Structure 1
Amino acid sequence: MMAMGIILLVLLLALLILFFLKQLWSRRHLPPGPLALPLIGTLWADGVWLREDYFLKHVKRYGKIYSMWAGPQLIVVLSGFKAVKEGMTNFPEEFSNRIEDPFFTALGKGMGIILSNGLTWKQQRHIGITSLRKLGLGKKSIEHQIEDAAQKLVEVFRQKKGQPFDPTFPIQHAVSNVICSLSFGYQFAPEDENFQKLTKAIEIIVKISGDFFHLVYNVFPRLMSYLPGPHKQALASVDLIVSFAKQEIEKHKESSFQHEPQDFIDYYLLQMEKSRNDPDSTYNEENLAQCVFDFFAAGTDTTFATLLWALLLLANHPDIQKKVQKEIEDVFGLSGSISYQDRKKLPYTNAVIHEIQRVKHVTLSGVPRQSTKDVEMRGYHIPKGTVIVADLRSVLFDPEQWETPKEFNPNHFLDKGGKFIEREEFLPFGLGQRACIGQQLAKTEIFIFLTSLLRAFNFQLPEGVKELNEEPIVKMAVHPQPYKVCAIPTQA
């Protein structure tokens, strides 16, 4: 029996060696990376739980382009500004597809803007960009909606009377209402039941994206469709938002605004009418409802998280906060409106906002893509079907591009004369064909919300608190730990 056991052990060892040698040979032209084991891929080296350095830790050993494996799925990570720019600009078509991720497929069903591909993606992206432009991005129309939401947020903060409070819900409400204005043409009161359901649904979806249940769902999608868990809550949350969007679509169909569009749904319905005789058209109510979901999913959480990080950082750095407030007061005084175009008159304020977005980037990486054909990059073979991760966080923390990459340093965006510098390496919204279509809206929101709040309040630490915790909660989105802050009115 012992001899038989030794023989089996030797055979097993021989099979493992053969497997290892076969893997080395078959993958010799791929970018380097940790050894991939059967079933688990490189999870033994990467870990299951996401961390800030999840995609950065292999760079020193394997370089700026390396391989990971999720089971049998090859993932190629592009790290640092030069590699990301090269990949996204040299292979715009080849790296343009969204990944075939079972969980994301269940969420998006191949429709809308974010999770679609091919003609559906091109047409939905087109209507998204053109309608946002027509609704007045960069013009007074949409800025008026944002300014209104910002002033309401100022009043909510004023009601706290300088006492410590958690700014999470007021900011979430304000940002979500901007998306409601764009999508539906109206805003919600904070206590509105439908509004509370919508914001809760987004929270649930963001919480599970990139979590353990997301990973398990991708490995066992059929099994997970029968089992209870957070994934079920996330899928139900998508259904809730889409169902609400469909109700709004019905209301808009009954209105008289289709030929004088007031919001995104109006513009989309008008496009459906124009395209009704086109057999290739993907403009339909199912895609429209999914586009509304995409606006909520992509347009709410990222801006909301950025503003939360902003107040935290400014409370932790009162010297920087005071310089911003002084610049705003010197240029505009204590009253009157400030538009997004006014950022050119506020170089230090603009630099601080950019640095907040850099040092506290609110996504772990760019949304993964999938190669549509074989590609040769830097001497490596990247096969068709490979998942491509353009690690935006590595770009924003690239030590080759930023003087003090891990520090909150607004001078990254200022020249020696104090003038604002546009930097090519600043890529929080991505690069190429899949860059965020709502980036202009997000920039406008962040600027107007922050200048409005900093004009009205000094943000201070609660009594007895020396510093707010800057350690993040890491999922696919990166949020600060819950905190409280004091909003002290600048004018009595």
Structure 2
Amino acid sequence: MLAAVGSLAAAFWTVLRPRTVLLGAVAFLFFADFLKRRRPKNYPPGPQRLPFVGNFFHLDFEKGHLSLQRFVKKYGNLFSLEFGDLPSVIITGLPLIKEVLVHQEQKFVNRPITPIRERVFKKNGQPFDPHFKINNAVSNIICSITFGERFDYEDTQFQELLRLLDEVTYLETSMWCQLYNVFPRIMNFLPGPHQMLFRNWEKLKMFVARVIENHKRGWNPAEARDFIDAYLKEIEKHKGSATSSFHEENLIYSTLDLFFAGTETTSTTLRWGLLYMALYPEIQEKVQAEIDRVFGQSQQPSTAARESMPYTNAVIHEVQRMGNIIPMNVPREVTVDTTLGGYHLPKGTMVLTNLTALHRDPAEWATPDVFNPEHFLENGQFKKREAFLPFSVGKRMCLGEQLARTELFIFFTSLVQKFTFRPPNNEKLSLNFRMSLTISPVSHRLCAVPRA
């Protein structure tokens, strides 16, 4: 009898022990997660967080910037979200945005490094789609500055570079890649788009590395041909310094930064600009009338005449406002424990400034959801607007703002001077967008009808 009871107890314990251990482990993990995620006193409010994933499933990744706006209505102009281990706060309204980006900028000057970024940067007449046509033209300007040369539009290597650029831009904000930021150790072992992102980044780095090697062969320190030559000179100057940031790996990353920032943002804004012209032909006609008055149809546009073209200037600014290509600005990171809007923000918190709400604020714009160049005009003259921040503001505002403004003006006026843009017959254009690191128009076709 005792033996039978002992056998039964042993069998029961054999079954129970793994379950007990498993349940205990799960309980421990939940408790550890609870302790880790406890927010400091007076932390900004926000939606209820789920264990481990935080607020990951509160967002629509196809329309992330729009899905955030419902939380603004519920929690106000400063609220918190959590993505895995990354605490974040969303800042809305011009006073708070200026507080973060200008008045207390030293406390918000850092950029957060997500697990994806850490892996990427710390590791050794007829209808046509304007997407890559415009990318070709804009990226060749950056190529001239960084590589010292332009590429033929049919160059296969150049086309591959642009394809990789577009794919990486799209993939990084996909749900799979955001899951990597939440669970980097697990996702390392899983297949998916995030693995393609890493492969593409390696290809991009290899492309730049080959360009650098070619530069070295004909390099003359006394005559810098481009950015890479100038950087190689700085590497040589700081050779042997253990604290110098001038080294070849940083040159690769800096070149890619310039290439990404200088190509994607400007080309996407131009694509929105031509799309709006096709959708608003009466506005396009007014732009063309002003261009004809200032330049005619044969003189090449120049920025020297920008002050004489208030309507065209206002249209370009309205394209930037409505295109909203970087809807939550480039993230910042809190450098020291600080107070903002009466709330406590711990060091390391990611901060997103809500440009979507700012650029559609009915208190700032007469018709916030309508394409209306009159937002930037007053008595027929161009009017600057304080609530217009497509290049951000403060010390970490866009480094290439002046180049981008020049490119937008020259490209836009040159194209509208020579062509009238309209929808293809029997095709309806829409303002639907594709979500990536920037917000771009969905794939579409335009007709460019020569004005001559």
CA contact (8 A) 1:52 1:474 kept: no
Cα offset, 1:204, TM superposition: 1.4
Say whether residues 1:250 and 2:250 are aligned partners. Answer: no
Cα offset, 1:72, TM superposition: 4.1
TM-score by length of 1: 0.81
Say whether residues 1:68 and 2:102 are aligned partners. Answer: no
Residue 101 to residue 220, structure 1, CA distance change in 2 (3 Å): same
Partner of 1:191: 154
- 1:165-191 superposed Cα distances (whole Å, 9 cap, x missing partner): 211221111112111111111111122
Q: Which amino acid aligns with 2:97?
A: V
Q: Secondary structure at the residue paired with 1:93?
A: helix
Distance 1:50 1:488 in 2: 33
Q: 1:488 aligns with which of 442, 449, 452?
A: 449
- 1:162-219 superposed Cα distances (whole Å, 9 cap, x missing partner): 2222112211111121111111111111221211221111111111122111111112
Q: Secondary structure at the residue paired with 1:407?
A: coil
Partner of 1:127: none
Q: Secondary structure at the residue paired with 1:366?
A: coil
CA contact (8 A) 2:143 2:150 kept: yes
Q: Which amino acid aligns with 1:167?
A: P
Residue 224 to residue 45, structure 1, CA distance change in 2 (3 Å): closer
Cα offset, 1:264, TM superposition: 0.8
Stretch deviating more after TM superposition (430-439 or 348-357) = 430-439
Residue 358 to residue 47, structure 1, CA distance change in 2 (3 Å): closer
Q: Which amino acid aligns with 2:304?
A: Q
Q: 2:401 aligns with which of 423, 439, 442?
A: 439
Q: Which amino acid aligns with 1:471?
A: N
Partner of 1:41: 54
Q: Secondary structure at the residue paired with 2:64?
A: coil
Cα offset, 1:285, TM superposition: 0.9
Say whether residues 1:375 and 2:338 are aligned partners. Answer: yes
Q: Secondary structure at the residue paired with 1:404?
A: coil
- 1:60-114 superposed Cα distances (whole Å, 9 cap, x missing partner): 1111111111134321110122221111112212111111310111122289xxx
Q: 2:122 aligns with which of 74, 92, 109?
A: 109
Q: Secondary structure at the residue paired with 1:282?
A: coil
Deviation above 4 Å: which 4+ runs of structure 1?
Answer: 21-28
Distance 1:245 1:35 in 2: 44
Residue correspondences, number: 423
- 1:286-306 superposed Cα distances (whole Å, 9 cap, x missing partner): 101111111122221111111
Say whether residues 1:200 and 2:163 are aligned partners. Answer: yes
Q: 2:305 aligns with which of 342, 346, 353?
A: 342
- 1:99-135 superposed Cα distances (whole Å, 9 cap, x missing partner): 1310111122289xxxxxxxxxxxxxxxxxxxxxxxx
Q: 1:475 aligns with which of 416, 427, 436?
A: 436
Say whether residues 1:463 and 2:425 are aligned partners. Answer: yes
Cα offset, 1:249, TM superposition: 1.4
Structure 1 gaps of 5+ residues are 1-14, 112-161
Q: Which amino acid aligns with 1:409?
A: N
Residue 268 to residue 334, structure 1, CA distance change in 2 (3 Å): same
Distance 2:429 2:253 in 1: 38
- 1:308-366 superposed Cα distances (whole Å, 9 cap, x missing partner): 11111000000000000100111111112222232111111000000000111112311
Stretch deviating more after TM superposition (23-32 or 324-333) = 23-32
Cα offset, 1:22, TM superposition: 9.4
Q: Secondary structure at the residue paired with 2:353?
A: strand
CA contact (8 A) 2:170 2:435 kept: no
Stretch deviating more after TM superposition (60-69 or 393-402) = 393-402
Say whether residues 1:269 and 2:238 are aligned partners. Answer: no
The equivalences for 1:87-486 within 5 A come to: 87-109=100-122, 162-276=125-239, 278-415=241-378, 417-465=379-427, 467-486=428-447
Distance 2:113 2:129 in 1: 38
CA contact (8 A) 1:56 1:79 kept: no
Cα offset, 1:41, TM superposition: 1.5
Residue 24 to residue 43, structure 1, CA distance change in 2 (3 Å): closer
RMSD over equivalenced CA pairs, Å: 2.4
Distance 1:294 1:24 in 2: 33
- 1:200-242 superposed Cα distances (whole Å, 9 cap, x missing partner): 1111111112211111111221232232221122112221121
Stretch deviating more after TM superposition (284-293 or 224-233) = 224-233
Residue 388 to residue 52, structure 1, CA distance change in 2 (3 Å): closer
Q: Which amino acid aligns with 2:298?
A: S
Distance 1:226 1:92 in 2: 39
Stretch deviating more after TM superposition (36-45 or 424-433) = 36-45
CA contact (8 A) 2:329 2:392 kept: yes
Distance 2:304 2:61 in 1: 44
CA contact (8 A) 1:364 1:476 kept: no
Structure 2 gaps of 5+ residues are 1-27
Distance 1:23 1:194 in 2: 47
CA contact (8 A) 1:204 1:233 kept: no
Residue 49 to residue 71, structure 1, CA distance change in 2 (3 Å): farther
Q: Which amino acid aligns with 2:431?
A: E
Distance 1:198 1:397 in 2: 35
Q: Which amino acid aligns with 1:353?
A: I
Q: Which amino acid aligns with 1:77?
A: I
Partner of 2:20: none
Q: Secondary structure at the residue paired with 1:178?
A: helix
Cα offset, 1:458, TM superposition: 0.8
Q: Which amino acid aligns with 2:346?
A: P
